[in-house]
Amino acid sequence: MNATPKNMPTAPDKDVTAIVLAGGQGKRMGSVDKGLQPFKGKPFIAHVLEKIACQAGTILISANRHLTQYQAYGYPVYPDTVAGFPGPLAGFLTGLTHCQTPYLATAPCDTPFLHDALIKKLKTALIETDADIAVATTMEAGTTKLQSVFTVMKSHLAPSLAAYLKAGNHKLGLWFDTLKTVTVPFAEKEAFININTLAELNAYQLEPANTNPSEPMMDTPKPDRLSVTEAQERILAAIPPTPRQTENIPLLQAQNRILAKDLASPIDVPTFNSAAMDGFAFEGKTYDLSQDLQLKVVGHSYAGHPFTGQLKAGECIEIMTGAMVPGNCDTVVQQEDVQFIGDKLLNIPAGSATVQDNIRTIGENIQQGAPLLKAGTRLKPTHLGLLASAGMATVPVYTPPTVAVFSTGDELCPMDGTLADGQIYDSNRAILMGLAKDLGCPVLDLGIVSDNPEKLEAVLTEAAKQADVIITSGGVSVGAADYMKQVMAQLGGIGFWSVKMRPGRPMAFGKVKTENREALLFGLPGNPVAATVSFLFFVKNALLKMMGAQIEPPQAIAALAKAPIRKKTGRTEFQRGIVNLADGQFTVSLTGSQGSGVIQSLTDANCIIYLPEDQGMVKAGDRVTVYMLDELL
């Protein structure tokens, strides 16, 4: 059902300039810039501009903060000419000052359901009554309500309004009283809904506008809630496709870094024939090894200290594991299989040795030019060992993104602080910084930011100047002090702010932009388990992709539930569990309480039980999917 009737004018009225009022302080919403707050997929201002552009020939925006963001919509943006935020009348004066048409229309930025024929009806009444200003009214509970910021006025009123404000006045109604004013009734009161608080924002955010109070609200999908898969796809799609910078770094510093190009071995490994066992080396092809054989021991070959002489017929050398086999030797017999006859004479029993026994040949492990690792490989200790065996002292890797981490909330206390009443220690920052460092990312610790939108904006702006990715925890729910989504909208934009999952539903993803840089922003939930799960299933792959890694899904294991697991359909759940293997079958049980604040449910777990959106209650014996935590972390 439409929010307002579609009695739209056939074309914008060229005699009317409209100014959208976005210059307020937004105190009731926490002092955020209301016009830039997200509403049903785009900022308030975008909704109002779409409505007003169909009605007025010229559009202006009145704003006192974030002028660059408003200018991006392609319309002139003007701040108040009167200091002190005196309210809507300052925006009226701004419009009158810059109006080049006979009429000026006004509308606030926080009314996304704006009437499609607002200007036409107001202007018609203004002309018919030869009034100075036309103001909309609605009926509410049997009383006429003046919608005083929805007006059309004659553009010659600038001197009158300037004088009124200069005298220290700021009330709209009293200024109207000095003019010839006509009120214009509108039956569609929903078209004049303005959203003033976070609670109102969240309420309207999740429900469609209902233009007929007598009709029940339809049960429609909530557009801000994505499935886990949709959220993961949106995040990866938002990562710039341009290749990251590369650098050559010492091999021993390369753990967890991402290889930037395919590597082939520059040498044979090993580069010489070596002994696979402790024993005795000799030229086996010159003897009948099916008979007992006596040889004289004439020297030694140790690892790193090869035998340098020449063996003659009837001679052998003692050799240690890994030592070089002399050039004319082709057989090593284990020391356990021989007997000494005196100090230097060795007896090799019949059948104890075979030619080529216990010799690692040149290139047996790796041949020169053979591929070692592919670009995009995340380097683990075994990879480093492989490269070291080929003599690679440095490796080409992608430069990792710098990650800035901070927590939000007045209830948080630093780990070295003393708890005040109502406070808790900040555990999330320790978790998130550790997870990012484990991926090989440089991490900036920005501490704790209080529940203040101006401070939050300042920290995010500074973080975007230094980091490629910003990870925050807290402030993304629907509470009165949860400002992250609002500030994100002002500084760059929001991709989404809610995922159909538990734990971790309130998760915001977007961007923060400065003049020269742009950073991805993950606003994770405030509870530690929810923050950890959100990192593992959303942030980790984003960082790996930015690092140039090949993204692969975690290895899933099928396990039988040892006991029933409560689960609602309609959301994906990540529960903490313990997997055991008995008689060739994996079984899994919960770690206990699954509350998103129970961090011990993670430390006690060895797996995450993945219950998809369409999964309902799990019965004992049902098969479920689990991911081992060792692989996820």
> What's the whole-number mean pLDDT along residues 581-587?
91
CA 167, 172, 177, 181 torsion: positive or negative?
A: positive
Percentage above 70 pLDDT, the chain: 91
Q: Contact 444/493 with Cβ under 8 angstroms?
A: no
**pTM of this structure:** 0.66
Residue 406: closest CA among 455, 440, 479: 455
Residue located via tokens 């009145």 = 62
pLDDT over 60 at 213, yes or no? no
In this prediction, residue 202 carries a pLDDT of 60
Rounded to a whole number of angstroms, the distance between the first and last alpha carbons of the chain is 47
301 contact partners, CB below 8 Å, separation of at least 6: 275, 281, 307, 317, 318, 319, 320, 323, 324, 325, 326
Q: Which of 11-20, 478-487, 546-555 has the highest mean pLDDT?
A: 11-20
How far is the C-alpha of 375 from the C-alpha of 401, rounded, in Å? 17
Flag whether pLDDT at 534 surpasses 80: yes
- Confidence category of residue 85, pLDDT binned at 50, 70, 90: low
The answer, yes or no, to whether residue 8 has pLDDT greater than 60, is: no
> Which burial class, exposed, middle or buried, applies to 353 when counting CB atoms under 10 A from its CB (0-12, 13-18, 19+)?
buried
> Locate tokens 């690092």: which residue?
547
Domains of the chain: 13-206 (3.90.550.10), 246-268+365-398 (3.90.105.10), 274-360 (2.170.190.11), 403-546 (3.40.980.10), 556-632 (2.40.340.10)
| pLDDT one-digit tens code per residue, 471-499 | 999 876 555 445 777 787 778 777 888 89
- Quick one: pLDDT at residue 30? 64
* pLDDT class of 242 with cuts at 50, 70, 90: low
Question: What was the pLDDT predicted at 204?
Answer: 65
